Amino acid sequence: IDLMINLIPKEVFLKEEIYILEPACGFAQFLRRIKERYPHLNAKLLGIEINEEIFRKAISSKPKEIEIIKSDFLLFDLNCQFDLIIGNPPYGIPSSSSHYPIKIDFKTKEKYKTLFSTWYGKYNVYGAFIEKSIKLLKEKGYLIFIVPATFMILDEFKKLREFLSQNGKTKIIYMGLDVFKPYADVSTVILIFNKSKKESCKLELFEYKKGRIIPISFKKNWKGEIITFKTDFSLFLENLCHYKLGDIYEVKISPRTPEIKNNPYVIKSKICPSDEFIPILNSKNLTCCDIKYENFSGYWIKKSDIKKLRAYFDFPHIVLGLGFRKDGKVACAIDKKCYPWMGDVYHLIRKKDLMSGEFDLTDEEVVEYLSSDYVKRYIKDVYREITYHLSITQIKNIPIPTKKEFEEIRKK
């Protein structure tokens, strides 16, 4: 909290009267600390909290200068704009399902989707908090949030990144995994956003190390692309390799569990129904350079019907796991037996255009490279500990060498 308050630009406090908001405020710790640090500040201090029990405790002990409203911030209409919005919004995918942390009903979720232009895919609620907060800022106002780092790279946040690039200047301070341990295992960043229609597209990336904020990179014309780190090794690999994986392969995702469950050609059984059936494989079947053709999923399908799941199941191709093995390597192999797959497994389908035709690594050599320490190190350098899963965008952006370039990598 003190670090984030220290990051508030001085010009915010130079105004005669300022409006400060803390969404999802809990006990309003940020507002209380600002009041303690700046007791003579002429400011309207407003917090919004949805939890009834926390709200009651907060208002029973708050200073009189702080106002707290009980409401869902994402649905609450505020008729004013703010010079500063600061806090720690909630994280999680909102759903009525038991395995998701933020419980909301279907009707409320549909309202969220309607209200927020950045909502995309399995959206995390903190993205909606960022969008609404920016809309509530005055011109030149500041947003300072501590949030997961996932919006930097995941495909679900591509609209949010575009929104940030179009509405002002973005500064990110990477905090790493340790901020909320042992209560939460999440890589976090401090997002500092300065709203400005005239000066959009500016991105600055920093890292917090041993009490110091260290500059990493600067981009003047950021358009919402994924945000990555740079090292000497990652730059060497990117500069040496003329191709990226997405130039050579289409990247497809396996059918998800609901699709498999509802497919009329799929049978769920602990044992094989008959000799005509083969198991539907999942990520448990995949290791580095090898596939175990056993049934870990409990689902079966006739060999003759697998094209009805996906056409590319019918020919040999590279399969690749979303997550990393415990040693940090990417799990991938060639499925030469042409089995069906489900869940967290990608499929690399070789393109047949001119660019891919000039690429001279075989699929076997590509698997060797993707399973290597080179790619392990590249992913670690570029994406740090932001996520334990690879997105399609991350996979497509992996630099991939020709035979000559592969030899050069080995030599170096």
Residues belonging to the active site: 88-89, 91, 180
* Lookup: tokens for 351: 């393109």
Other beta carbons less than 10 A from residue 356's beta carbon: 14
Q: Which of 292, 335, 294, 318 is nearest to 371 (CA)?
A: 318
| Alpha-carbon distances of 183 from 125, 177, 186, 407, rounded to whole Å | 19, 11, 9, 45
Instruction: Take residue 60 and report the two structure tokens written for it.
Output: 């029973």
Residue 341's DSSP bridge partners are 281
